[in-house]
């Protein structure tokens, strides 16, 4: 995983740091880019399996994934 991500893209990882002492971080995969470039938000599948719309704030970091999900279509 490349932690120098500048512009998040589909397939990248979002990491939310814990807000309280002892609270663990949350991670998720960006499934869809939404909004305008200057007000970007995302549809994210979180590590617990649920999906939600996510509006990033200062506690979010993004990392380019070094692997991409396999296509659902197989070449024959």
As to burial, measured by CB atoms within 10 angstroms (0-12 exposed, 13-18 middle, 19+ buried), residue 21 is: exposed
The pLDDT assigned to 74 comes to 38
Residue 50 has a pLDDT of 96
Mean pLDDT of the chain: 81
Q: Any residues with CB less than 8 A from the CB of 3 and at least 6 apart, and which?
A: 61, 63
What is the Cα–Cα distance from 53 to 30, expressed in whole angstroms? 10
Q: What percent of the chain has pLDDT over 90?
A: 49
pLDDT band with cut points at 50, 70 and 90 for residue 70: very low
Tell me the average pLDDT across 50-55: 96
For residue 59, the model assigns a pLDDT of 86
Residues 6+ apart with CB under 8 A from 27: 13, 14, 15, 16, 46, 47
Query: What mean pLDDT do residues 62-72 have?
Result: 65
């Amino acid at each position: 995983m490349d932690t120098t991500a500048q512009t998040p893209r589909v397939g990248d990882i979002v990491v939310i740091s814990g807000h309280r002492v002892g609270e663990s971080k949350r991670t998720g995969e960006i499934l869809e880019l939404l909004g305008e470039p200057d007000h970007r938000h995302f549809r994210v599948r979180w590590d617990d399996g649920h999906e939600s719309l996510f509006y990033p704030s200062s506690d979010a970091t993004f990392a380019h994934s070094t692997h991409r999900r396999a296509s659902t279509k197989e070449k024959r």
